[in-house]
Amino acid sequence: MSKVLYEKDIQKEVLQGKKIAVIGYGSQGHAHALNLRESGYDVVIGLRAGKSQQKAEEDGFTVYPVAEAVSESDVIMILLPDENQKQVYEESIKPNLAAGNALVFAHGFNVHFSQIVPPSDVDVFLVAPKGPGHLVRRTYESGAGVPALYGVYQDYTGSAKELALAYAQGIGAGRAGILETSFQEETETDLFGEQAVLCGGVTSLVKAGFETLTEAGYQPEVAYFECMHELKLIVDLLYEGGLENMRYSISDTAQWGDFVSGPRVVNEDTKARMKDVLTDIQTGKFAKDWILENQAGRPQFNAINAAENKHQIETVGRELRDLMPFVKQPIQTKQKEVKQHVTN
């Protein structure tokens, strides 16, 4: 059997008949809950009072306080922000776990960095989608799925792996691929990827390209279309068929530029800095800094976020996207409005 597992390789029965508590209803939480319910599983939500509780109830879920959701359930998937998990776990989850429960995570951060130390009489595993929560939902609804990693940290019942696979299949990952990992590998590679390649890397590259063009006197709108808007179109080709597929579709002029100029921008120096980022993750320095930033009330996070939202690439982008009805509104706004606008 291949290392990557698919729907046909997975026994769903092991999760059927079990009550699943999804703790949190945000990016990942809403997607897991809706996908699992539509896959035929019994799902309840654990939340505090607030906007997520209202959304989950609007989506037809029974919402309990976290402690009650845990005490009522067999499988507990913690989909809280990483920085909130330790406190909620100690206060509301740990006291309500029962022998034989499954404690599940979508990111290994808190277990790997010993912020959460599970009891010895529960299964502990992770099911980590390799994609944003809203796309975990959107792809599931379209009949596709987002790949996921699974890893077993503790197998008390002897069924932890089978439960993890059935859970991953239930959120749609069996349609895209499910691969075994460890809490360490998932944690360190996910943190690295989001910092140095996907989010941190891409946003830094896009802003630098945009600024290079606008500082040279070109129109900001041209710089936006070139460096931000077109990025999705190029990445779609990479998603569908790798470098070869993208290079097949672009011009030979662009491909030659890719070959001769790309390495001038991203090169061995860049890789050396990537290795520094990875070292800070592996040593726990990043985790410690993030935990301390949250304990201090996020002064740096909030200041940088405010400045980023004022960047010209954002102000120009908002104006242009508002004129393009086919571009999905930002996740947090009501997408139904966009659909009505497009169909009218």
50 binds, among ligand NDP, ligand X2X, none (CB under 5 to 8 A by kind): ligand NDP
Q: Residue 53 in contact with residue 31, Cβ under 8 Å?
A: no
Phi, psi (degrees; rounded to nearest 5) at 10: -115, 135
Size of the site for ligand X2X (CB under 6 A): 6
**Candidates 159-167, 193-201, 207-215, 279-287 — which segment interacts with ligand X2X by CB under 6 A?**
193-201
Shortest Cβ distance from residue 234 to ligand NDP (Å)?
22
Residue that the structure tokens 């859970």 belong to: 167
One of 30, 32, 107, 112 is an active-site residue; which one? 107
| 240 assigned to a ligand binding site | no
Could you say which of 21, 190, 214, 281 contacts ligand X2X (CB under 6 A)? Answer: 190
**Sign of the dihedral through C-alpha 302, 287, 25, 185:** positive
Question: What is the contact mask toward ligand X2X in residues 129 to 158, using x (rule: CB under 6 A)?
Answer: --xx--------------------------
Q: How far apart are CA 124 and CA 105, in angstroms?
A: 8
107 is catalytic: yes
Give yes or no for residue 133 binding ligand NDP (CB under 6 A): yes
Q: How far apart are CA 314 and CA 321, in angstroms?
A: 10
Alpha helices (H) in 73-199, listed in sequence order: 82-88, 109-112, 133-141, 160-170, 183-192
- Nearest residue by C-beta to ligand NDP? 26
Give yes or no for residue 66 binding ligand NDP (CB under 6 A): yes
Q: How far apart are CA 87 and CA 70, in angstroms?
A: 15
| 133 assigned to a ligand binding site | yes
Could you say which of 9, 90, 194, 308 contacts ligand X2X (CB under 6 A)? Answer: 194
| 28 assigned to a ligand binding site | yes
Of 105 and 156, CB closest to ligand NDP: 105
| 190 assigned to a ligand binding site | yes
Shortest Cβ distance from residue 323 to ligand NDP (Å)?
28
Give the chain's radius of gyration (CA, Å): 22
Question: What is the contact mask toward ligand NDP in residues 101 to 130, using x (rule: CB under 6 A)?
Answer: -----xx--------------------xx-
∠ Cα 6 7 8 (to 5°): 95
Q: Residue 22 in contact with residue 42, Cβ under 8 Å?
A: no
Shortest Cβ distance from residue 50 to ligand NDP (Å)?
3
Applying the rule CB under 6 A, the residues between 4 and 63 that interact with ligand NDP are 24-29, 47-48, 50-52
Give yes or no for residue 235 binding ligand X2X (CB under 6 A): no
* Dihedral, CA of residue 135, residue 139, residue 140 and residue 144, to nearest 10: -140
Q: Which residues face 44 on adjacent strands? A: 21
Q: What's 156's DSSP letter? A: S
Q: Residue 317 in contact with residue 224, Cβ under 8 Å?
A: yes
User: Residue type at 55?
Assistant: K
Which residues are tagged catalytic?
107
- Report the interface residues with ligand NDP, using CB under 6 A: 24-29, 47-48, 50-52, 66, 79-82, 84, 88, 106-107, 128-129, 132-133
